Structure 1
Amino acid sequence: MQSRGNKEPPLSPKERLAALRARLAEAGVQGFVIPRSDEHLGEYVPPSGERLAWLTGFTGSAGMAIVLPDRAAVFTDGRYTLQVRAQTDPALWECRHITEEPAAEWLKAHAQGLAIGYDPWLHAAPAIERLAVPGVRLVPLAANPVDAVWRDRPAAPMAEAVPHPLAFAGKPAAEKRAEAAAALREAGEDAAILADPHSLAWLLNIRGGDLAHTPLALGFALLHADARVELFMAPAKVPAQTRAHLGNEVVVRPREELPQALDALRGLRVRVDAEATPAWFPDRLREAGASISAGEDPCRMPRACKNPTEREGARAAHRRDAVAMARFLHWFAREAPGGGLTEISAAARLLEFRRGGEHFRAESFPAISGAGEHGAIVHYRVTPESDRRIAPNEVYLIDSGAQYLDGTTDITRTLWTGPGEAPAAVKDRATRVLKGHIALATACFPAGVAGPHLDAFARRALWDAGLDYDHGTGHGVGSFLSVHEGPAAFSRAARIVPLREGMILSDEPGFYAAGEYGIRLENLLLVVPAELPLATRPFLRFETLTLAPFDRALIEPALLTAAERAWLDAYHARVLAEVGPLLEPDVAAWLATACAPL
């Protein structure tokens, strides 16, 4: 995992592809699959895991590449159609839409009779199964050939793992281990593989700095049914303070000892979360003579259901974040009509406001700061090359969040820059998005209902006009962990996971006019019990955590029902009451105007 430290110049894109093909020939295969993921199969990877970007030039957060002797292709979804073509050399790489032409179909058409290698550390077993087609042999390789030719590969991250105080975690690690171990015993299992660093962070009450926006210490673990844990992490990453925090029932071992640790499980029943675990683990367990039990990571659902301390932490973090947002929105309202701001300068100012908040640690993701047509790109990331002036009288979208020790935030507001009035069509679309946001935020539903069942609530007002948006309506959010957390989500494509008390999810419907503007309105919601007088079974509802006004310049009151107007007025009154007293007089005065009844 370390950089080779030689003085040779970096390879050109053409040379990288040629060098990889030479390595494949030495390994006895004719092709190779390169995913975006690293060994932990997560959304975010450290620089040392950016193999897809190094080889192809494509830097999007989702995709894969396949290299054959005489052709190569990059596969990604519709979010990155323009980006992948801009970042890759068409003389070297074909660009393919991963849903319209799946990688398996491309292999079937172009790789008949070939042996295609893959790194079993970088793919879950089901992902490999989805690539299997007749006439193509998939071969696990002992060493990754990309790593062999990546001369200037960054070193693996080595940030220290640090204790996450009980004041923020809310439950001792020993208690979490005992409960997770009890779940294994109840299922008749002897151990579980933990490949997701979020599970290590939650289970052991530790955090780290191996990733830019998510406070993780990368590693693996074996959870045993007697509540012991073997933590596979570079010992240098675990200082004495953290070892003392972990206690005697958690043993730190180098990652190189994983093979013999799995060999020691011969004859035992081991839980493996297939989709969240590299294929190397079930392969090695079978070789060792262990019995594999398919099941979800035992930390995933308990992590998603925040305990009372984490819920209070989320409320406190959002109040702090609301102060930063109010200062930003006040500043933006004053400066934007003059046309002197850019996408980068606006995002930087919001980050500056957040940095002053107690317990602030980092952004929870790079801010999506998009003016005009850039706002219509759902996952737009401003760069010095794409940065553009925020002009007067246009739509500006800012999607951002922060990591605080007591909670993770994520908020999107769409703003009219002024000084003129927004066009009627823009106000119509923005108000329909707001109506959808309110519909989901105010939903009450019986226990057992899942995110996909509620997704349509947020789309109804758009559907009524023949409009829609092509992303999910919301995702789970961690507690000083990832801003994208499973297993629950508001999406037609999400699996059916009943919502439970303590889950935090985003509510973010949108509308995007390609080449013109984008609208998205996002608050975070906490799942809480609902007290309904006629209910004969448990019901749930949402508590809104995010506290920031919606831009009234983009609201058409005539489109709102009386109930929607009442919700909006009550929400704004709450924002003013909770946030106003924490602000300096000029910002508080602006907030009072922004939160006045509609």
Structure 2
Amino acid sequence: MLRERMAVLDLDAFIVPRADAHQGEYVAEADARLAWLTGFTGSAGFAIVTMDRAGVFIDGRYRVQVKSQVDLAHFTPVPWPETKPSAWLRDALPSGGKAGFDPWLHTRKEIEAMKKGLADSGIELAALAGNPVDAIWQDRPAPPVGRARAHADALAGEASGQKRRRLAGELRENGQTAAFLSLPDSISWLLNIRGTDIPKNPIVQSFAILSDDGHVTLFSDPDKFDDGLRAHLGNEVTILHPRELTDALRNLGGTVRIDPATAPEIAFRLVEEAGAHIACAPDPAILPKARKNPAELKGMRAAHLRDGVAMTRLLAWLDARDPASLTEIDVVRKLEALRREEGIIDISFDTISGSGPNGAIVHYRVTESTNRRLAAGEMLLVDSGGQYPDGTTDITRTIPLGHPPEEAIAPYTAVLRGMIAISRTRFPKGVAGAHLDALARQFLWAEGFDYDHGTGHGVGAALCVHEGPARISRVSDLPLEPGMILSNEPGYYREGAFGIRIENLITVIGAEAEPGRDMLGFETLTLCPIDTRPVDRAAMSRDEADWLDRYHARVRQELSPLLDEGTRDWLLRATAAIS
């Protein structure tokens, strides 16, 4: 059906991204075009369809998953970013042709990179007025209209009006009359609102234009906002329906700030049509949002304390049972029930509960068809998190079910040592995530191992569990700053056997240094025991063992008063010193 539509549009290829118009990692069902067309449900990737081939581009996290989800008779998995889309198109269309794309679903940065890669190829990139997938998607779900709510100023640490005036002042300093915002988490942060449009991500799906006087025009379905929330937003926020965005962009004048890395290509085209000047610069909210203030950090610490109670209760419950009496889904349901008792609004992403070979699927999502019964002698990887009113959590623990398999001990120890290395490190101001990434991998590399994902992603404060722009990754050149919250999650995955990942959340803090130097380090937010049964103590240094013992002592001290006697006794044993 798609190829028939492409023929009508005189297209030789069409690009189907995972992203929606907001470039979010998690998309509403109405925007899940890639999953609808191919069956692939990963959080990153895209497809390119020509008249005789179709490639599904996936990174290292999804190399195993994609093979179980797409029909390999029709779709070919393509390793990405090793294979650039422009290189694939050159090979697929050696005589040139017309490749269509939806300008609402691709950023300018993405389109410019593709155009550069297609230079002199005879392949034209054509922006389409309508999306051909939408034209054939007969039972497409309706867009979400979830209720929006106020996020208390006490939790935000700063009133929305103060944030808007501060960012508007930055626009004026740079000679910019307005900024276009397309990231819902930036807008939700700026306006101190939260929503229910996207499951597990408390954002309000919206676009916004911030003027240099601090006024915001918010483009979101007005039905999401009741009278109380409108009063919270005040008179300096105007709510319009998203269908009015196109005309609003066409009517902008002066110098308009747009982020080429996050805003859709269509926004640039509409503002350019109006004759306004475009200042290509980052979303003005993206860095202030990443630098958590004291109130946000206080909320995150409180959320992690309650989350640690739920996780510790799960681990004690699991340890007291015969693994064969449980399935992966049983673990998911138990953990989510325990988190509900601790006050979650929602989970922060689909809980990963992968036993044995399923643990090797980095973003495994258990279903009734894949659900495995646990078995003694296997490893169980549980990656999960909660959305609390005051904070967002993300934690991974890998648990041996009885005696750990011998072949898992060396990689488990290497993963733990890498996680500790990040936790203990001090670094000069100006250092980026790319400079730290190798610290987590060094012990795996020494064994000839590695993992195909970043070491850490940014995390929002009562917002999205995956938040830009801060990362610990080979490709992140953004300097880390105090208040940024990141995950610390090295891993190892042996296809068909087991997966290992140990993850804590950390926040950047100031660190002791000699006079005249600014040094930074990390504070660990996550409070939960790390299983020591698969640890090769002889491979660990005294400093590493001491760090683990100090961490476990802190976990005992903070969690014990909040646990029942049986769980408290289990925690005492689980956090026994190893040095």
TM range (shorter): over 0.9
Distance 1:121 1:257 in 2: 15
Q: Extract unaligned runs of 5+ from structure 1.
A: 1-17
Matched, 1:215 2:202: yes
Counterpart of 2:99, as a letter, is I
> Amino acid of the residue matched to residue 354 of structure 2?
G
- Of 83, 103, 120, which aligns to 1:120? 103
Residue matched to 2:272: 286
8 Å CA contact 2:147–2:196 kept in 1: the answer is: yes
Q: Which amino acid aligns with 2:497?
A: E
The one-letter code of the counterpart of 1:339 is: A
Structure 2 match to 1:390: 374
SS in 1 for 2:63: helix
Question: CA–CA distance in 2 between the matches of 1:99 and 1:504?
Answer: 26
Q: Secondary structure at the match of 2:345?
A: strand
Corresponding residue of 1:334? 320
Residues 85 and 522 of structure 1, relative CA distance in 2, 3 Å threshold: closer
- 1:525 aligned residue: 506
Structure 2: unaligned runs, 5 residues or longer: none
Matched residue of 2:231: which SS? helix
- Quote how far apart the aligned CAs of 1:197 are: 0.2
The match for 2:223 among 236, 244, 249 is: 236
Residue in structure 2 matched with residue 361 of structure 1 by the alignment: 345
| Aligned mates of 1:274, 1:101 — CA distance in 2 | 22
Q: Name the residue aligned to 1:346.
A: 331
After superposition, give the CA deviation of every residue in 1:414-468 in whole Å (9 maximum; x if it has no partner): 11111xx334442222122111111110111111111111111112222233322
Partner of 2:176: 189
Which of 498, 508, 522 is residue 542 of structure 1 equivalent to? 522
Q: Is 1:501 aligned to residue 482 of structure 2?
A: yes
Structure 1, residues 476-513: CA drift from partner, whole Å, max 9, x if none? 1000111111111111122x111111111111111222
The CA deviation at 1:390 is: 0.9
Length-normalised TM-score, structure 1:
0.93
The SS at the match of 1:252 is strand
Secondary structure, aligned partner of 2:506 = strand
CA positional deviation for 1:585: 0.7
Q: 1:150 aligns with which of 137, 146, 153?
A: 137
Which residue of 401, 416, 420 corresponds with 1:434?
A: 416
C-alpha deviations, 1:354-408, integer Å up to 9, x for none? 01113x1111111111111111221111111111011012111111111111111
Is the partner of 1:310 in helix, strand or coil?
Answer: helix
Farther off after superposition, 168-177 or 558-567: 558-567
Query: Are the aligned partners of 2:258 and 2:282 in contact in 1 as well (CA < 8 Å)?
Result: yes
Match of 1:129 among 112, 125, 144: 112
Count of residue correspondences: 573
- One-letter code aligned to 1:518: G
Tell me: CA distance 1:429–1:181, structure 2 relative to 1, closer, same or farther (3 Å). Answer: same
What is the RMSD of the two structures over their aligned residues, measured on CA atoms?
Answer: 1.5
3-state SS in 2 of match to 1:275: coil
- Write the letter of the residue equivalent to 1:115: K
Q: Where do residues 444-523 of structure 1 align in structure 2 (5 Å cutoff)?
A: 444-494=426-476, 496-523=477-504
Query: Which residue is 2:545 aligned to?
Result: 565
Measure, in 2, the Cα distance between the counterparts of 1:98 and 1:455.
Answer: 20
In structure 1, what is the Cα distance between the partners aligned to 2:533 and 2:22? 44
Other structure's SS at 1:156 match = coil
Equivalent in the alignment of 2:156: 169
Residue 91 of structure 1 deviates from its aligned partner by: 4.1
Counterparts of 1:209 and 1:23, CA distance in 2: 34
C-alpha displacement of 1:138: 1.3
AA matched with 2:334: R
**Mapped partners of 2:54, 2:377: distance in 1:** 45
- Cα 1:396–1:86, aligned 2, differ >3 Å: closer, same or farther? closer
Distance 2:569 2:38 in 1: 51
- Note the C-alpha offset of 1:100: 4.1
User: How far apart in 2 are the matches of 1:95 and 1:247?
Assistant: 49
Moved more, 77-86 or 152-161: 77-86
Q: Deviations over 1:294-346 (max 9, x none)?
A: 100000000001010000001100000011011101001101x4421111111
Aligned partners of 2:186 and 2:285 also within 8 Å: yes
Q: Which residue is equivalent to 1:14?
A: none
Contact 2:458 2:471 (8 Å CA) reproduced? yes
Q: CA 1:86–1:568 in 2, change beyond 3 Å: closer, same or farther?
A: closer
Whether 1:414 aligns to 2:398 is yes
Map of 1:552 onto structure 2: 532
Who is 1:592 aligned against? 572
Q: Which amino acid aligns with 1:417?
A: L
> What is the deviation of 1:98?
2.9
Identity %: 49
